[in-house]
Amino acid sequence: MNITGMLYGARMLAHVDFPAAEVLGPEATEDEIQDLIDRHKQIFIKPLFKGGVGRKGKAGLIGKATDLETALAEKERLYFVEHRHGNVHAKANGVTFEGGVPAEHEVYFAITDSTEFRAPTMTLTHVGGMDIEALDKGLVAQVPFEGLTGLKAFVVANALSDIGAPKEIISPLVQHLPKLWELVHHYGMTTLELNPIRMRPGRDGRLTPVACDFKCGFDRRRSAAARTRWSPRCWATRRSSRRISAATLPTTR
């Protein structure tokens, strides 16, 4: 049972006060989209798939816009787009509009249940926004930690130092990343991935990590997953094209 994208991801991250990119759902009005563009200068339009499907960027399924006309054209292009990655075939049923986050640094972060270490494991690199498998192993930290005591700040700090991360990003990440274990533990997640986390500069020059993409998996056999209180529809990963088409038709009385 997987969730991808910022529509639900931003809601999850808000529970632990982790900064996230501003996102509007498929019901957003033209005025709301224009306001998002005015405040962020650039927005990203992404298809809304139920369940999890990867490699959307490489397939050209992420639109960019700096004006309303382009944003609406990208909405039309992506609203019902189909995508295949490996053995997974998915059809979108909507789009999201996400405010751009200017940044010089991008970070990859994940927590997984590792079979190798038999413990929750943090994967972290300061070279985010790309496939983790493509990076030199010296740039990636994989650190198991004790689930009972959680992800400690010193574990994050040591990992970033070991891989040679820029000094200016270490303190903000040490402050925010440990919160994500609380999210994983409280909601019964089996995996959580944020890629990229963009390091947004503030007026004082201090950097703030902002999640710009979200993936997670839940173990529905654990009662903790029910704490999301989301509709069962958001967990669906497969629906036939006939049912999808029928669901989008207006009803008449």
Confidence band of 59 (pLDDT split at 50, 70, 90): low
What architecture is the 22-100 domain classified under in CATH?
2-Layer Sandwich (3.30)
CATH number of the domain at 106-228, please? 3.30.470.20
In the chain, the amino acid numbered 122 is M
Residue with tokens 């816009």: 65
What does the pLDDT look like over 165-207, one tens digit per residue? Answer: 999 999 999 999 999 999 999 988 999 999 999 999 998 889 9
Residues contacting residue 68 through CB under 8 Å, at least 6 positions apart:
30, 33, 34, 37
- CA 193 – CA 183 distance, rounded (Å): 12
What pLDDT is attached to residue 36? 98
Two structure tokens written together for 129: 């926004």
Nearest 5 degrees, angle CA 23-CA 45-CA 33?
60
Residue 245: CA count within 13 A, CB half-sphere: 4
Q: How far is the C-alpha of 222 from the C-alpha of 239, rounded, in Å?
A: 25
Q: What would the two tokens of residue 244 be?
A: 């999808």
pLDDT at position 159 over 90 = yes
CA distance 170 to 105: 11
Q: What is the mean pLDDT of the chain?
A: 86
Q: Hunting for tokens 């189909």 — which residue is that? A: 82
Residue 107 binned pLDDT confidence (cut-offs 50, 70, 90): very high
Kindly calculate the radius of gyration of the chain based on its CA atoms and give it in whole angstroms: 19
Between 136 and 242, the higher pLDDT residue? 136
Q: Looking at the predicted structure, is the pLDDT value of residue 248 above 90?
A: no
- For the segment 108-131, the average pLDDT, to the nearest whole number, is 90
Residue 200 tokens read as 């947004």
What would the pLDDT profile of 16-48 be if each residue is shown by its tens digit?
999 999 999 999 999 999 999 999 999 999 999
Residue 253: what pLDDT?
Answer: 37
φ/ψ (deg, to 5) at 28: -60, 140
User: Domain ranges in the chain?
Assistant: 22-100, 106-228
Q: Say which amino acid occupies 71.
A: A
**Gap between the Cα atoms of 42 and 211, Å rounded:** 16
HSE (side-chain half, CA atoms, 13 Å) at 20: 22
Residue 155's H or E segment, with its range, is helix 153-162
Can you read off the two tokens belonging to residue 108?
């990859």
